[in-house]
Amino acid sequence: MKLFTMNPKQRRARAQYIKTLSEDIVNGLLKAIITVGIFLAWVTAAYSQKHEGKYFNNLDNRGVIIDGYDPVAFFTDHKPVKGDQQYQYTYEDAIYYFSSPEHLDLFKANPEKYKPQFGGWCAFAVSLGRVAPIDVNTFSIVNGRLVIQHNQRAVNGWSKDVQGNLALADKYWPKVSERGGKQIQTNAEKAFLNNTDNDGVILQGYDAVSYFSDNGAEKGDSTYSARYNGATYWFASEDHASMFKDHPEMFAPQYGSFCGYAMSLNKLRPIDPTIFQIVDGKLILQHSHDGYKQYNKDVTGNVAKATGNWPGQMQRHAGKKIKFDKPAKPADDEVTGDVK
């Protein structure tokens, strides 16, 4: 048998190859470690976001979270149990109360296990891109995580797709908390086209329900609000807000609250919220009195034109920053017919 032997040049080449291979392996391991570290940091940040340097929590005027209820009891007692301030602990800028020293110790040992998700805000609201207060009686444990809702309506919405809504809440929480709970535009909302202000408020803050219930334009209040198809609605009362939430499609303005006459001309124009009419149970607004007169020369025909033009406008402009079209030219000599 002939044995293979390497000459000095071959031995040096082998040594260099082994050295290079070792360096590649080490560099690969370092990159993997860095990647894992970045991922873990992202995961931690996703569930613990800050606003203006502090964790964005739903706190009372004493800095206490979840209305002073014991977070551990939701897991051990399977119900809300009021905490006692003599057993308290501060974690992530929130004060927690506990019903017993045993529960306090459990929380201290593993706060991430027991803390409420999304800073103690309504989980369903976060899945929709905003925050809302909570009712501790609406709690549930999902994937080992404590989630609490605002009310029964939120529970119903959450329950339609628990895992999907949890994934959305996780996705939107960083941005929602960064904005201090202000409404963000979700991916689903980018499919809609609305005439809103910079804060996403439609109808210039007027109450959509009042047009139907009071036959008049009434200014809404941000205290009573609802979100529908990518727009925030304000209402004059909680009753009106509740009516809208039950049947938003009945009260929402046509054509995303753009001028009805302009839409019949295939244009996007603003509105005067005090110039309106209800046509076949639908709210239609105009920009000016002249536009109102032109529209009502042939209501049926103009409704058909506007309704036919709307899908194309949606397709072209949904999810984009809106620029109003130029006013229309006068329709005839009788009136200016403008939609300025």
Ordered DSSP codes for 277-296: EEETTEEEE-SSHHHHHHHG
Would you say residue 267 has pLDDT above 80? yes
Which pLDDT belongs to residue 173?
Answer: 98
Is this prediction's pTM over 0.85?
no
The mean per-residue pLDDT over the stretch 226-235 comes to: 96
Structure tokens at 101: 């020293």
- pLDDT at residue number 260: 98
Task: Give me the pLDDT at residue 45, please.
Answer: 46
Residue pair 178/172 in contact (Cβ under 8 Å)? The answer is no
Residue 338: the pLDDT is: 54
Eight-class DSSP state of 57? -
Strand partners for 253: 283
State mean pLDDT over 110-132: 97
Tell me the pairing of strands 94-98 and 84-91: antiparallel
Tokens 């009310």, residue located: 151
30 falls in which pLDDT band (50, 70, 90)?
Answer: low
| pLDDT above 50: residue 43 | no
Q: Count CB atoms within 10 A of the CB of residue 254.
A: 17
Asked if the model's pLDDT at residue 209 lies above 90, the reply is: yes
The first and second tokens of residue 287, run together, are 């920009």
pLDDT of residue 53: 83
Q: What's phi and psi for 82, nearest 5 deg?
A: -65, 135
Question: Is 311:317 a contact under the CB 8 Å cutoff?
Answer: no
Residue 3 or 53, more confident: 53
Instruction: Give the Cα separation of 167 and 171 in Å (integer).
Output: 6
Higher confidence at residue 97 or residue 339?
97
The model's confidence at residue 327, banded by pLDDT at 50, 70 and 90, is confident
Torsion of CA 289, 291, 294, 297, to 10 degrees: -70
Least confident of 38-52, 135-149, 292-306: 38-52
Query: Stretch 278-304: mean pLDDT, rounded?
Result: 97
Q: Which residues contact 49 (CB under 8 A, 6 or more apart)?
A: 55, 56, 119, 173, 174, 176, 177, 178
What is the residue-averaged pLDDT of the chain? Answer: 89
**Percentage of residues in the chain with pLDDT exceeding 70?**
81
Token representation of residue 195: 């005439």
Backbone angles phi, psi at 216, to 5 degrees: -160, 165
DSSP helix, strand, coil percent of the chain (3-state; round to 5): 45, 15, 35
Q: What is the pLDDT of residue 336?
A: 46
Reported confidence tier of residue 40, pLDDT bands at 50, 70, 90: very low
From the list 75, 159, 79, 146, the residue with the least C-alpha distance to 116 is 146
Render pLDDT for 64-94 as a digit per residue (tens, 0 to 9): 999 999 999 999 999 999 999 999 999 999 9
Range 23-31 average pLDDT: 60
pLDDT of residue 42 exceeding 60: no
pLDDT band per the 50, 70, 90 thresholds, residue 130: very high
Position 23 scores a pLDDT of: 64
Q: Does residue 306 have a pLDDT over 80?
A: yes
pLDDT of residue 51: 64
Q: 231 forms bridges with which residues in the sheet?
A: 228
